A and B are shown apart, each in its own frame.
Chain A
């Protein structure tokens, strides 16, 4: 079974630039998540999609972050403009069941490591 695919693996940008990350979840997984993991911290949920609808985006800084899930499959996360504090690993995860995510097994991609200079 193919895992969650993310690209790029690394990205270095200057502050105030824009950046986009891409995620392809496991085939058939209805729920897709974007997490932010700052060095030395646990993952923090940014946004959760079920199919192509948003379930939870309460922790997404909407003034600079946006995300979409195309046709309920692939997803992109964008930051514009980036700040120094956005330096982190951005993890995409998917889950099979059509619940709210709690109690479901999450399958994570390897993440995109973003450095904002």
Chain B
């Protein structure tokens, strides 16, 4: 079983749609949960960061962590064509000192 699983997509939505991106993880010791966005031919950039459980909102983006289900989500409201990218979830724990990335979900927002 992979430590982090993410549906690779691709996911195609019309402009203005609400997008839901998800990851599951296997190790309950993970404490850090991140979402990175990666545009084509670019390196990933940190989009959202959550420590432990709960929600975090930043503009059109909301990150949720459900530790009981080992499930993390990223919601994008009013999606824009500029949101078209690959979204990588990443999880980590201070015990292992490692950050593990999911395989990424490719999102395309059509005008």
Q: Mark B4-41, 1 if CB is under 8 A from A, else 0.
A: 10101000000000000000000000011000000001
CA distance A56 to B49 in the complex (A): 23
Q: Mark A1-40, 1 if CB is under 8 A from B, else 0.
A: 0001000000000000000000000000000000000001
Which residue of chain A is the closest to B95 with respect to CB atoms?
Answer: A102
Question: Which applies to chain A's interface (DSSP): helix, strand, loop or mixed?
Answer: loop
CA distance A96 to B103 in the complex (A): 25
The answer to whether B43 and A101 have CB atoms under 8 Å apart is no
Chain A interface residue count, Cβ-Cβ cutoff 8 angstroms: 23
Contacts of B90 in A (CB 8 A): 42
Q: Taking the complex as formed, is B45 at the interface, i.e. its CB lies under 8 A from any CB of chain A?
A: yes
Q: Which of A4, A40, A42, A105 contacts B46 (CB 8 A)?
A: A105
Q: Which of A40, A55, A102, A108 contacts B44 (CB 8 A)?
A: A108
Q: Taking the complex as formed, is B75 at the interface, i.e. its CB lies under 8 A from any CB of chain A?
A: no
Q: Taking the complex as formed, is A93 at the interface, i.e. its CB lies under 8 A from any CB of chain B?
A: yes
The answer to whether B93 and A102 have CB atoms under 8 Å apart is yes
The answer to whether A102 and B41 have CB atoms under 8 Å apart is no
Chain B interface residue count, Cβ-Cβ cutoff 8 angstroms: 27
The answer to whether A40 and B8 have CB atoms under 8 Å apart is yes
The answer to whether B97 and A44 have CB atoms under 8 Å apart is no
For chain B, residues 46 to 65, give those with C-beta under 8 angstroms from any C-beta of chain A.
Answer: 46, 49, 51
Closest 10 pairs (CB-CB, A-B) = A108-B43, A42-B101, A100-B97, A102-B92, A103-B32, A42-B103, A105-B46, A41-B103, A43-B101, A108-B44
Contacts of B42 in A (CB 8 A): 110-111
Known: A42-B103, A103-B92. A110 touches B98 (CB 8 A): no
Known: A102-B93, A103-B32. A4 touches B43 (CB 8 A): yes
